[in-house]
Structure 1
Amino acid sequence: MSQDSENNESGKVSRRAFLGATAFSGVAGAGLATGLLPRATFAANNENGVAVHPGELDEYYGFWSGGQSGEVRILGVPSMRELMRIPVFNVDGASGWGVTNESKRVLGDTAHFQNGDTHHPHMSFQDGTYDGKYVWINDKANSRVGRIRCDVMVTDRITRIPNITSVHGLRPQKAPYTKYVFCNGEFVIPHPNDGRDLDDPSKYFTVFSGLNAETMEVDWQVIVDGNLDNTDADYTGKYAASTCYQGRGEGVTLAETMRNERDHAVIFNIEAIEKAVEAGDYITIDGSKVPVVDGRGDNTPFTRYIPVPKSPHGLNTSPDGKYFVANGKLSPTVTVIAIDRLDDLFAGKLKTERDVVVAEPELGLGPLHTAYDGRGNAYTTLFIDSQIVKWNVEDAIRAYNGEEVNYVRQKLDVHYQPGHNHTTMGETKEADGKWLVALCKFSKDRFLSTGVLKPENDQLIDISGDEMKLVHDGPAFAEPHDCTLVHRSKMRNVQSLWTRDDPFFAETVAMAKEDGVTLEADNKVIRDGNKVRVYMTAVAPVFGIDKFTVKQGDEVTVVVTNLDRIEDLAHGFVMTNHGVSFNISPQQTASVTFVADQPGVHWYYCSFFCHAMHMEMRGRMLVELPE
């Protein structure tokens, strides 16, 4: 295709032609140029069989970050069908997340934030593999971490991480179980961040946090040099590692953060951190009670800084537990770190920190993230080359040691500029090497035009054979940054109905008990001065109360209990003209509180289609003028 035919009739240049003719501006200073590659050919007869026919179920759950939407999405793999959206940090009109009293309790003192920026969804582990219990997700925008219960696929806890600005990299501890969720504070800030030292970067630092997986409280933090990017954990429970840019410097501008010849992968010694905290050898900062130890400088008991090429990005652990791989971003290489050498590194038995590096293969332009197939092969995204490169880890080590060996197995074009990639079960010891998803940042000529904001492009690749084969792509909104692919056998505890004693709505149940109300049987209005509590059941196609009366200015709490036991039979409750809308799934209780500020007749209705007479499932709130 000629460049002329790539230009549209208005004289604008398409993304494809533009990238083919110019250097990628973000790394122009590093001398990296890019050109677009031909469209990949879809494999007609892939080994895995991408089709999921009617009546058949997907083999994998995919948990996608929702990016700037602040949510998590569930996709089936390999069908790539979107199955569900789980609100976390966002306000959601369908479920009522951010509107109901129950969701506001989860959001806590951060409920006033109505946005989130979700990046890294990761599941809890037991003995190095997924256990189907929780998924955690970070909010880079507002320094929070949310936890999703996988039995009901609902967010049950949100924690704002103290002493940081922006949680970026996030990974659960893999063994012996997920005791901690490791969280990187990305941006350095002064401490205390109270208006002093505003423009003195020498006073800035950030911390690495150990978030308790069960309590969702931060158990400890480690001060580090530089800005932390991505993180991962080993398979013993002893170590975690994070990429660190502008580490050992005070850079806050683009030029400053790129000026070092090398940056670092920081290794965290979890046992040493725990022992110091147990012994009381810590400080606290910024008024927080969280124990903080200082991991800056050389030869601390808590950290080691492994020199790697500048501005590293992804950090990924191989499923055999042998290696951390730090991805170069501004270098065409990735750095392979031997985990079994870390004991000697902390014991001072190695000459330099670089003695833990066992390979540094050259893969292509802009390596960002690496995934694995469990057969010794790694798959790295090349952002600038718009490719996935398949390479063999042991061959790369042999080449590093001077042998003549070609470690690159294949390069596959993807469209365009891939960030994260993820293989089925690839972040566990049970990596099965069937599918890889490439999450591409641009899709400008892949789909029908949607105006000025284009979707991203998620692509499914068959990796079960010797060659990668691209078998599917689809649009995604807004920027689904990362995903986790979990075999359905790990999700044994997914429920189709709520249980009536579920702790998610326990506070609402306790309120009803104080009012003398049995939620499963009673339909009552409780008046307490200008506070009115309306308890009603919902059974298709009727609410238990079809009319209630309040006065203008009353604070009204409506509590609805769905008594239906049929899977799929959800109800909704909408109070017209009051900004009230929420979902009540089978056997769930949900509530909302609002002010009846408008006199007159206000209808409420069921918003989830539940019955042939669904349109008639409604009632009236009569708002009288105050006396």
Structure 2
Amino acid sequence: MQELPENGQSRRRFMGAAALAGVAGATGLGTAVMSRESFAAAAGDARQKYMVEPGELDEYYGFWSGGHSGEVRVLGVPSMRELMRIPVFNVDSASGWGITNESKDVLGHDNTYLNGDAHHPHVSMTDGRYDGKYLFINDKANSRVARIRLDIMKCDRITTVPNVQAIHGLRLQKVPKTNYVFCNAEFVVPHPNDGSEFSMEKSFTMFNAIDAETMEVAFQVIVDGNLDNTDADYTGKYVVSTCYNSEKALDLAGTMRNDRDWAVVFNIERIEQAVKNGNFKTLGDSKVPVVDGRHGSELTRYIPVPKNPHGLNTSPDGKYFIAAGKLSPTCTVIAIDRLDDLFDGKLKDERDVVIAEPELGLGPLHTTYDGRGNAYTTLFIDSQVCKWNIADAIRHYNGEDVNYIRQKLDVHYQPGHNHASLTESRDADGKWLVVLSKFSKDRFLPVGPLHPENDQLIDISGEEMKLVHDGPTYAEPHDCILVRRDQIKTRKIYERDDPIFASAREQAKKDGITLEADNKVIRDGKKVRVYMTSIAPQYGLMEFKVKQGDEVTVYVTNLDTIEDVTHGFCMVNHGVSMEISPMQTASVTFVADKPGVQWYYCNWFCHALHMEMRGRMLVEKA
């Protein structure tokens, strides 16, 4: 980075400060931008808080989307240590995800899509508090939503949303519990999308609700414009989504034509009643109820907000939806307690629910909260986080001469999402803030043209934000969520009746096999099923024989009952590998197309004699 010799500041810092000065001058408000010296002193003090000593446990689980990798990553916070990677929309040779039969039961046995673009991880709730049961994540690339069981940290269901393309914004119903997963389809398409129509004018998109338990799509709502991010209130009644392309334009200039786009409010109670009354249609082969929520509908309201809005976040006190302007330096504060009057026709204008519109800086994208009345908004263009007070912003909107901006902190660089500890729940505790920056540039050792992104940890427990940690990360993680560690209850070993290997248990029953006891080969024409147990450091079958061309399914049941004694099964030169944790059964199917001796071995270290844990598949030539 080139330094400016006259004052030692970086060019980026200088430009950011100039931009801030322009915003401050326009609003008549002061800003607090920390100097390099004060940043260093503050960071040194805060660093003592985030240091987690060897053998000590983190206070929070952090669940990060894996971005273009299609996975979910589990980190400890505040240490920022990576604990686990949960494959979801990707193929993972370590665990066998996308290879084993159990994972294909979730992904689909045709393995149509080998990619994913995971954006928004969110944890299920009961009465507005994280209950640690499920984590949900979207796949923008292939219009899917996945559910992860947090007791075993494995994906157990994936749903493809019909009639739409590119599931992006995703949030959960907060009360009375997470009955619905709400998600937006970003791009408009014609219906039917069969090549008979291509115009943008005759295309539309939909807001979608998925039943959190069955993972079936419960209903869809047609809207005007497109959809971006979304969030739900603390009554179970309202959900709001941003629209950045109210123009329904294809060209870039066209999408920026309107000074205001809108935030769409969905009345969930009315939508449910419409579906119950049969006031819906279906599209194509899908049986999902589709209701009309375009302008004039009793199911929705359209609140004009500036400009190309992006983030939409609910305050933890349940009072406000806040939409970030992206192409406006403002955020729009929407009073949730005015929405009933808006739907009942008691307000003259949709803008009557707007109670503040603070000017924060250039490129506001996402807002999070500390539970003490302060909001934290990322400023993409300024490469900063702006801390501001909601109550003071409302007072300023009402004409009082008050400064609502508390502090601006440089982050590195171009931040997108940010997330404070417990902030999506009633329990927001205002301890830590994670900022997910899109670029790292000079922050880490160079690794070639493709750079990592940068996740930064900020201490927000005091009056000043203090940046304490840089963390390089790969493939645009996009978003994260922080959950207190006592809110997640993980299993140490599998239960034998776990539904994740129900299909293996069902097949074993048909074959007269007891998974925990039998080591046996079942021949069924050209199909061969091999059942074996494993207990460190050996398999129950050291050798089995098949014929060339047989379809072989190997079932391995791990009989070890001690946590952390995971076994693997890898068939050499066959593209086959899988993980089998304590008391788990896993299976994999492949064709024995190579005659001769084919070795298999345990590829997860399990014992001092781990290298000796292996066996042979003997393939007779056809």
Matching of residue 519 in structure 1 with residue 518 in structure 2: no
Tell me the amino acid that sits aligned with residue 64 of structure 2: W
Q: Work out which of the residue numbers 327, 332, 339 in structure 2 matches 1:330.
A: 327
Aligned to 2:479: 482
**Contact (CA 8 Å) 1:47, 1:464: kept in 2 or not?**
no
Over 3 Å counting, the alpha-carbon distance change for 1:301 and 1:109 in structure 2 is farther
Any idea what the Cα deviations from partners look like across 1:451-498, whole Å, max 9, x if unmatched?
A: 11111000000000011101111101111100000011211x211111
Distance 1:346 1:402, change over 3 A: same
1:310 CA drift (Å): 1.7
Q: Deviations over 1:342-390 (max 9, x none)?
A: 0000001001000000000000000000000000000000001000100
User: What is the identity, as a one-letter code, of the residue corresponding to 1:360?
Assistant: E
**Shift in alpha-carbon separation, 1:324–1:428, aligned structure 2, 3 A:** same
1:35-79 Cα deviation digits (max 9, x unpaired) = x99865361112971110011100000000000000000000000
* Cα distance in 1, alignment partners of residues 404 and 74 from structure 2: 35
Out of 292, 295, 300, the residue aligned to residue 293 of structure 2 is: 295
Residue 47 of structure 2 contacts residue 468 of structure 2 at CA under 8 Å; is this kept in 1?
no
In 2 relative to 1, CA 522–231 (structure 1 residues): closer, same or farther, beyond 3 Å? same
How far does residue 21 in structure 1 lie from its aligned partner after superposition? 7.7
With over 3 angstroms needed to count, the CA separation of the structure-2 counterparts of 1:44 and 1:497, relative to structure 1, is same
Q: Provide the secondary structure at the position in 2 that maps to 1:43.
A: helix
**1:252 corresponds to:** 250
Contact 1:539 1:562 in 2 (8 A): yes
Matches within 5 A, 1:174-573: 174-198=174-198, 200-247=199-246, 249-298=247-296, 300-491=297-488, 493-573=489-569
Deviation at 1:246, TM superposition (A): 1.8
Contact preservation (8 Å) 1:573, 1:606: yes
1:258, distance to aligned residue in structure 2 (A)? 1.2
1:574-611 CA deviation, whole Å, 9 max, x = no partner? Answer: 00000001100000000000000111111000000101
CA distance in 2 between counterparts of 1:21 and 1:313 reads 24
CA deviations over 1:175-212 (Å, ceiling 9, x no partner): 111110001000001111111112x1111000000100
- Aligned-partner SS, 1:504: helix
Question: 1:164 is aligned with what amino acid?
Answer: V
Render the CA deviation track for 1:407-426: whole Å, top value 9, x for unaligned.
00000110000000000001
The one-letter amino acid of 1:206's match is: T
Q: Does 1:578 align with 2:574?
A: yes
CA distance in 2, matches of 1:377, 1:257: 32
CA distance in 2 between counterparts of 1:128 and 1:426 reads 11
Please say which of residues 317-326 and 284-293 is displaced more in the overlay.
284-293
TM-score, normalisation: structure 2: 0.94
Corresponding letter in the other structure for 1:595 = V
Secondary structure of the structure 1 residue equivalent to 2:43:
coil
The match for 1:28 is none
TM-score (norm 1): 0.94
Would the alpha carbon gap of residues 380 and 21 (structure 1) be closer, same or farther in structure 2, given more than 3 Å must change? closer
CA separation of 1:436 and 1:64: change in aligned 2, threshold 3 A = same
Asked whether the equivalents of residues 48 and 434 of structure 1 are also in contact (C-alpha less than 8 Å), the reply is no
Gaps of 5+ in 1: 6-15, 23-31
- Contact 2:34–2:409 under 8 Å retained in 1: no
Give 3-state SS (helix, strand or coil) of 2:104's partner. Answer: helix
Is the 1:193–1:286 Cα contact (8 Å) retained in structure 2? no
Cα contact 1:48–1:464 (8 A) shared by 2: no
Q: State the match for 2:30 in structure 1.
A: none
Summarize deviations over 1:417-457 as a string: whole Å, max 9, x none: 00000000011111000000000000010001111111100
Cα shift readout 1:390-414 (whole Å, capped 9, x = no counterpart)? 0000000000000010000000110
Measured in 2, the distance between the counterparts of 1:244 and 1:455 equals 30
In the aligned structure 2, how far is the partner of 1:21 from the partner of 1:320?
A: 36
Distance across 2 between alignment mates of 1:48 and 1:175:
37
The residue identity in structure 2 corresponding to 1:602 is Q
Secondary structure of 2:105's partner?
helix
Q: Cα 1:18–1:425, aligned 2, differ >3 Å: closer, same or farther? A: closer
CA distance in 2 between partners of 1:407 and 1:122 (Å): 30
For residues 443 and 37 of structure 1, do their structure 2 counterparts lie closer, same or farther at Cα, with a shift above 3 Å needed? farther
Q: Give the one of 597, 603, 611 matched to 2:599.
A: 603
Aligned-residue offset at 1:18:
8.0
Residue 305 of structure 1 aligns to which amino acid in structure 2? Y
Shift of 1:250: 2.7
8 Å contact from structure 1 (residues 48, 462) kept in 2: no
Distance in 2 of aligned mates of 1:254 and 1:50: 43
Query: Offset at 1:287?
Result: 2.1
User: SS where residue 46 of structure 1 aligns?
Assistant: helix
Indicate if the aligned counterparts of 1:423 and 1:435 stay in contact, CA closer than 8 A.
yes
Maintained 8 Å contact 1:265/1:306: yes
Query: Aligned equivalents of 2:418 and 2:552: distance in 1?
Result: 48
| Aligned position for 2:19 | none
Match 2:585 to one of 558, 575, 589: 589
Equivalent residues of 2:239, 2:265 under 8 A apart? yes
Measure how far apart 1:275 and its partner are.
Answer: 0.1
Between the aligned partners of 1:516 and 1:347, the Cα distance in structure 2 is 64
| 1:234–1:240 CA contact under 8 A, matched in 2 | yes
- Within 2, Cα distance between the matches of 1:49 and 1:605? 44
For residue 72 of structure 1, give the secondary structure of its aligned residue in structure 2.
strand
| Corresponding position of 1:143 | 143
> Unaligned stretches of 5+ in structure 2?
17-25, 27-32
* CA–CA distance in structure 1, aligned partners of residues 377 and 171 of structure 2: 19
How many residues align structurally?
A: 602
Q: Distance in 2 between matches of 1:18 and 1:358?
A: 34
**Helix, strand or coil: the match of 1:162?**
coil
Q: Which residue of 2 aligns with 1:164?
A: 164
8 A contact 2:34–2:408 mirrored in 1: no
Q: Is the 8 A contact 1:37 1:386 kept in 2?
A: no
Q: 1:62 to 1:365 in 2, by over 3 A?
A: same
Inter-partner Cα distance in structure 2 for 1:503 and 1:216: 15
Which residue pairs with 1:8 in the alignment? none
Counterpart amino acid of residue 475 in structure 2: A
Instruction: State whether residues 569 and 578 of structure 2, in contact with CA within 8 Å, keep that contact through their aligned partners in structure 1.
Output: yes
For the Cα contact (< 8 Å) 1:459–1:472, is it kept in 2?
Answer: yes
